[in-house]
Structure 1
Amino acid sequence: MTSYSKFSEEQLATLLREGDHLAFTEIYNRFFEVLYMHAFRRLNDDDEAKDLVQEMFVGLWDKRKLQDLSKNLSSYLYTRIRSRILDKFRREKISGRYMDFLASYSKLDHASTDHKVRERDLKQLIEKEIYALPEPVRAIFILSRKEHLSHKEIAEVMDMTEQGVKSQVKRALKILRAKLGFYSYLLCFFNLL
């Protein structure tokens, strides 16, 4: 029986690309702790750090045939986790801006008390439904509708294809339309975002 623990990074990367589950397991076991510690030092949140590292490894397996990692596997993994940490910080910044916008919008004195109550309720409903969207649909939707980034720019930020971004935006719109109804759905885009 072959001992994968004796294989070099280059050998493991080559086997990974070929779909070798044991090579993937060895890479995971070899690098998880150091990547987790790096993420934890940046995020200061145990669960978030573990989630980011897990997601990165899922992405590694899913994209194993597209990457040539035989030259520098450890550098690739470090770069990917650093990128995921930065993406998380960007998403949090965007979410903060969105909440600030909603707070300032609700302070505008342009309608009757009854209208303001209905408007606030509608905003809360829309906000709730946006944040109920699954990841990465939510992040992509916010980048598209709030930050007004193009599909190409979002693809670069999220490390996806433009077509993948387009399908995720369509998915978000479909979910929101189904949950909010057509009238609320229109308000979501013309008044509140």
Structure 2
Amino acid sequence: MQPTEEDVLAAIRQGNERVFETVFRLHYAPLCRYARQFLPDADDAEEEVQAMFLAFWEKREGLLITTSLKSYLFRAVHNRCLNRIKHFAIRDEHRQHTLYAGDTTAESPVQALLGDELSDRIQTAIQKLPEQCRLAFTLSRFDELKYQEIADQLGISVKTVENQIGKALRILRTELSDYLPLALLTWLLSHP
């Protein structure tokens, strides 16, 4: 008897590597072909598909999939490819600006140190957030999903997403209050 999709997802959530590998083998090639529609370089396309599967495995325990697994995987690859395209565009724009204006934005060692310390502190503060709050916040800020997409993925209402992200921002403001002067100093140093 063929396992249901719910059985497959339950096995993956429980860490069943064999079931995950089966899903990987079934969907990997079609997802790579799909990614190639966005990213002409085959290596870039494969890299995004692999990164999506890695993230899928790492977040397996908290996954709430409201569509079919196949639709979820294709949507995740779609989002990753679009983010990569945005990244390429920003990088190219920065490169053009640097060529035109010259590299006057080199960081001083102090700026680099302050930025690294602040970045580490932000990551620590995010990890302290309650699970659903952290998921909603990271999907919004790092995966750049819209509130409706987050609601669909987490199986909650858009209003709950708004509340969770608002809560995350309040907690982070409190957690990082000591670093507000540092953030301001970093900004001032990078904007002469």
Residue-by-residue CA offset, 1:105-158 (whole Å, 9 max, x unaligned): 23xxxxxxxxxxxxx5x76798xxx9xxxxxx9xxxxxxxxxxxxxx9986253
Q: Match of 2:65?
A: 69
In the alignment of these two chains, the number of paired residues is: 131
TM superposition shift of 1:8 = 3.5
Asked whether 1:156 is paired with 2:152, we answer no
Asked whether 1:27 is paired with 2:23, we answer yes
**Does the CA contact (< 8 Å) of 1:10 and 1:72 recur in 2?**
no
Identify which of structures 1 and 2 has the higher relative contact order when contacts are C-alpha pairs closer than 8 Å and 6+ apart: 2
Query: Which structure: larger Rg?
Result: 1
Identify if the C-alpha distance between structure 1 residues 9 and 155 changes in structure 2 by more than 3 Å, giving closer, same or farther.
closer
TM superposition shift of 1:12 = 1.1
Q: Match of 1:9?
A: 5
Partner SS state of residue 43, structure 1: coil
TM superposition shift of 1:190 = 2.9
Q: What are structure 1's unaligned runs of at least 5 residues? A: 107-119, 131-136, 138-151, 167-184
Q: List structure 1 runs of 4+ shifted beyond 4 angstroms.
A: 122-126, 152-155, 160-163, 185-188
Residue-by-residue CA offset, 1:52-78 (whole Å, 9 max, x unaligned): 110000000000011123751111101
Once residues 142 and 95 of structure 2 are traced to their aligned partners in structure 1, the CA distance between those partners, rounded to angstroms, is: 22
Once residues 98 and 154 of structure 1 are traced to their aligned partners in structure 2, the CA distance between those partners, rounded to angstroms, is: 25
TM superposition shift of 1:16 = 0.5
Once residues 190 and 6 of structure 2 are traced to their aligned partners in structure 1, the CA distance between those partners, rounded to angstroms, is: 49
Q: Match of 1:102?
A: 98
Paired AA for residue 49 in structure 1? A
Q: Match of 1:190?
A: 191
What RMSD in Å do the two structures reach over aligned CA positions?
3.5
Alignment of 1:137-176 (within 5 A): 156=140, 158-159=142-143
**Does the CA contact (< 8 Å) of 2:38 and 2:82 recur in 1?**
no
Residue 35 of structure 2, aligned match among 39, 45, 49: 39
Task: Report percent identity of matched pairs.
Answer: 21
Once residues 71 and 190 of structure 1 are traced to their aligned partners in structure 2, the CA distance between those partners, rounded to angstroms, is: 45
Once residues 3 and 139 of structure 2 are traced to their aligned partners in structure 1, the CA distance between those partners, rounded to angstroms, is: 35
Q: What are structure 2's unaligned runs of at least 5 residues? A: 113-118, 120-135, 145-164, 173-185
**Does the CA contact (< 8 Å) of 1:9 and 1:74 recur in 2?**
no
Partner SS state of residue 42, structure 1: coil
